[in-house]
Amino acid sequence: MIIVSGLTKFYKRGREEVRALDRVSITVEDGEFITLFGPSAAGKTTLLNIIGGLDLPTEGKVSIFGKELTKNEMVNSRRNNTGFIFADFYLIPTLNAVENVMMPQLWSRTVDHRKAEELMSLVGLKHRLRHYPKELSGGEMQRVAIARSLINDPNILLADEPTANLDTTTRDKIIGLFRQLNRDKKITVILATHDPECVSYADRCIRLAYGKIEP
């Protein structure tokens, strides 16, 4: 279970102070599929980053599986609890698809080539193992990114606008893949999006605007 309580985040933008999140509290049950829905600058990415251990809140706290996410716990949480998926995929251009999938294992020192190939198979890219990112389509690159996010067996998938750079057909396939992973592997999925079409796939939708949860 993920418990977010009283989360507030200020940013400095020049001399201006921006309140990205304002006393946000949510609870996500294990195996839930949640969408964080809202316009740009609503605070979706900030909330994802804090839950994923990429950033610290100004106030409030996050607890994952009963353990508070402190500064010291951030790396471990990223390595063991969460898998990240971004709109821009961020594949390493000099590594082929399967090497990109294995990349997070470098940090946990458990490189498992067979597992990476199985995940490539799971996302439907068994025939693209040795292809480099520049040889893949946007949808394929996002599938590789999803396989990469699963390599360390995370309990939580955090996806930040994962379909922003994809056409609608590919978008539906990718969202379908998230749904499948959520259903079959019982992985908790938190997906940030401003696309109203994505909302229908989720168990629950949390609407954010100006850093606050809308009722």
Partner 1 sequence: MIWFKLALKNILRRKTRSIFTLLGIAVAITVLYSLLEFQKNYERGLRDELYSLGAHIMVVPKGCPYEAATIALHGGKWPRYINEDNMARILKQPGVGKAAGIIMDAIFDREIKRNKIYLGIDENYVSLRRDWKISGSWFPDSNSIILGSTVAVEENKKPGDEYFLKEKNITLRVSGVLQRTNSQDDGFYFLPQKTMQRIFGLEGKLVVILIQARDIEGIDKLTMTIKENEKDLNIFPLSELLTNMTRIIQSTKVFIFAIVLVAVLTAMMGILNTILMAVFERTKEIGMMKAMGASQADIFRLIWAETVIFGIGGGIFGILLSVIMAKIIAAFLTTILPYAPKGTLIGFSWSALTVSLIFSLIMGLLSGIYPAAKASSVKPMIAIRTE
- By CB under 8 A, tell whether 52 contacts partner 1: yes
- By CB under 8 A, tell whether 108 contacts partner 1: yes
Q: Could you tell me the smallest distance in angstroms from the CB atom of residue 106 to partner 1?
A: 6
Q: Could you tell me the smallest distance in angstroms from the CB atom of residue 174 to partner 1?
A: 18
Q: Which of 44, 115, 148, 171 binds partner 1 (CB under 8 A)?
A: 148
- By CB under 8 A, tell whether 99 contacts partner 1: yes
Q: Which of 19, 23, 61, 79 binds partner 1 (CB under 8 A)?
A: 79
**C-beta of 140 vs 160, nearer to partner 1:** 160
Q: Could you tell me the smallest distance in angstroms from the CB atom of residue 26 to partner 1?
A: 19
CA angle 169, 172, 174 (to 5 degrees): 110
33 near 180, Cβ under 8 Å? no
- By CB under 8 A, tell whether 161 contacts partner 1: no
Rounded Cα gap, residues 4 and 85, in angstroms: 20
- By CB under 8 A, tell whether 22 contacts partner 1: no
**C-beta of 115 vs 205, nearer to partner 1:** 115
Measuring CA to CA, how many Å separate 84 from each of 51, 58, 158? 11, 22, 5
- By CB under 8 A, tell whether 41 contacts partner 1: no
Q: Which of 35, 142, 152, 188 binds partner 1 (CB under 8 A)?
A: 152
**Alpha-helix residue ranges (DSSP H) falling in the chain:** 44-51, 74-80, 97-108, 113-122, 138-150, 168-185, 196-199
Question: How many chain residues touch partner 1 (CB under 8 A)?
Answer: 27
Angle in degrees, 0-180, between the axes of helices 138-150 and 97-108, rounded to the nearest 10: 20
Q: State whether residue 160 is helix, strand or coil.
A: strand
32 near 203, Cβ under 8 Å? yes
Q: Minimal CA–CA distance to 18: which of 58, 51, 56, 70? A: 58
- By CB under 8 A, tell whether 3 contacts partner 1: no
CA-CA-CA-CA dihedral for 120, 83, 42, 7, to nearest 10? 170
Interacting residues with partner 1 (CB under 8 A): 49, 52, 54-55, 75, 78-80, 84, 86, 88, 90, 92-95, 99, 102-104, 106-108, 111, 148-149, 152
